[in-house]
Amino acid sequence: MTTDPKAPLRHWAKQYRAGLDRRQKAQKDADITAQLWQLPQFAGAPAVVLYAALPREIDTLPIIEQCIDLGKQVYLPRVVGRQLQLVHTPSTASLRIGAFSVPEPTGTRLWGRTDLPIVVPGLAFDRQGYRAGYGKGYYDRLLANWTGFKIGLCYRDCLFATVHPHLYDIPVDQVLTEETEKENTHDQ
Q: Is 136 marked within a binding site?
A: yes
Virtual CA dihedral for 188, 154, 180, 6, nearest 10 degrees?
Answer: -60
In the 8-state DSSP scheme, what is residue 103?
E
Q: Is 81 marked within a binding site?
A: no
| E-state strands within 39-177 | 47-49, 73-80, 83-88, 96-97, 103-104, 110-111, 118-120, 124-126, 131-132, 150-153, 159-160, 174-176
Q: Is 9 marked within a binding site?
A: yes
Q: Is 139 marked within a binding site?
A: yes
Q: Is 10 marked within a binding site?
A: yes
Angle at 153 between CA 149 and CA 154, to 5 degrees: 140
Q: Is 133 marked within a binding site?
A: yes
Q: Is 57 marked within a binding site?
A: yes
Q: Is 141 marked within a binding site?
A: no
| E-state strands within 105-173 | 110-111, 118-120, 124-126, 131-132, 150-153, 159-160
Q: Is 8 marked within a binding site?
A: yes
CA-CA distance, 77 to 50, in Å (whole number)? 8
Q: Is 138 marked within a binding site?
A: yes
Q: Is 65 marked within a binding site?
A: no
Sign of the dihedral through C-alpha 59, 82, 142, 110: negative
> Are 16 and 155 spatial neighbours (Cβ–Cβ below 8 Å)?
yes
Q: Is 124 marked within a binding site?
A: no
Q: Which residues are annotated as a binding site?
A: 6-10, 57, 131-139
Q: Which residues are annotated as a binding site for substrate?
A: 57
Q: Which residues are annotated as a binding site for ATP?
A: 6-10, 131-139
